[in-house]
Amino acid sequence: MSCYVYMLRSLKDSSYYVGISENPNKRLLEHNSGKLKRTSKNKPHQIVFKKEYLNYELARKHEIWLKKKSISYKDKVAQLAPPVMGGVKKGPRLAPPSSQAG
């Protein structure tokens, strides 16, 4: 069974929520519907990060680790996420050409 660690950012107050789910897109709908007490007051949310794991145990370890990270760390993760997940990353950065005179 694969599952995902996901991170949401509130569009209301920019707070983060880290969770685990087999279907993070469905879970996002539940968060945004107000069904979940923890995220109901600062909805709507968007997914800014998700990572698939092959088993629950590995995903749970990552979830616990990510929940403990600082807001500034989570901001960086959100910034580096692909645009389809709310981030601004456009692809790998290429090193500038070397300026060796020969």
pLDDT, tens digit, for every residue of 11-50? Answer: 999 999 999 999 999 999 999 998 888 898 999 999 999 9
Residue (of 57, 34, 56, 44) closest to 8 by Cα position: 44
Q: Give dist(CA 78, CA 46) in Å, integer.
A: 10
CATH class of segment(s) 3-85: alpha beta
Mean per-residue pLDDT, 69-85: 82
Q: Rounded to two decimals, what is the model's pTM? A: 0.79
pLDDT at 95 over 50: no
Q: What percent of the chain has pLDDT over 90?
A: 63
Cβ 7 vs Cβ 78: under 8 Å = yes
